[in-house]
Structure 1
């Protein structure tokens, strides 16, 4: 169910200059980075790229969702990590992305860890935003 403007708790604002070959910065100055396509896509690889930024945001958000569901389930996820891999490639109408989310949860057995990851995928705002739009594989 979509949220309304009155439901918004926080809004992040970032501005890009020159697209994939320029700079992106947040309005508060907390983030200000050079963006550049990876070498395989014609860039020099000198800066970061939008896929890395998306992977960083998604992994942090998913880790937060994992913590929420773990607390609800009474599972200790201290020391856990979440890795997001973002792939970009050509598709029938230009370019598209795919995701792989993997989690390492040292204090949980395999079945419990898998269940937590699946539940986190249901509540993570990034997962909700991308559901039905891109392929996301959980590991």
Structure 2
């Protein structure tokens, strides 16, 4: 079977972490900044925020797909993704934490959906083996 491209998002950044990034269709246009002492200038965002946003949305769709397969209710489910820029002995890297809160499910059911979604989500597939990803029931 041949892979079929369903959608391509394209963005251009000028000025790196202290510049501006915008998608080719203008749907996203952001000023970027590097936090100083943990504080980010007003009106700016970071690549980690943008990655976390995309990951959370994609993971949320995977949660819904798993719920559909299992015929369970995930109404009101919320996925929170925290992406960290980490500096270590070998330089900079990323780490992620994913939390799933599913009010209609038990903690065990939520854990099962979380783990199954992690196997299905394209962002999880892309990061698997490349960055540490911690899963938790929220």
Q: Is 1:58 aligned with 2:55? A: yes
- Which digits, 9 at most, give the CA deviation of each residue in 1:58-97, with x for residues without a partner? 0000000000001000111110100001111212321011
Alignment of 1:4-15 (within 5 A): 6-15=3-12
User: For each residue in 1:74-122, what CA deviation from the matched residue of structure 2 results, as whole angstroms up to 9, or x when unmatched?
Assistant: 1111101000011112123210111000010000111111000000000
SS of the residue corresponding to residue 111 of structure 1 reads helix
TM-score, structure 1 length as denominator? Answer: 0.92
Q: Where do residues 49-128 of structure 1 align in structure 2 (5 Å cutoff)?
A: 49-128=46-125
Whole-angstrom CA distance in 1 between matches of 2:121 and 2:37:
31
Which consecutive residues of structure 2, in runs of 5 or more, have no partner in the other structure?
Answer: none
Show structure 1 runs of 4+ deviating over 4 A: none
What RMSD in Å do the two structures reach over aligned CA positions? 1.6
Which residue is 2:17 aligned to?
Answer: 20
Where structure 1 has 5 or more consecutive residues not aligned to the other structure, the ranges are none
For these two proteins, the number of residue pairs brought into alignment is 135
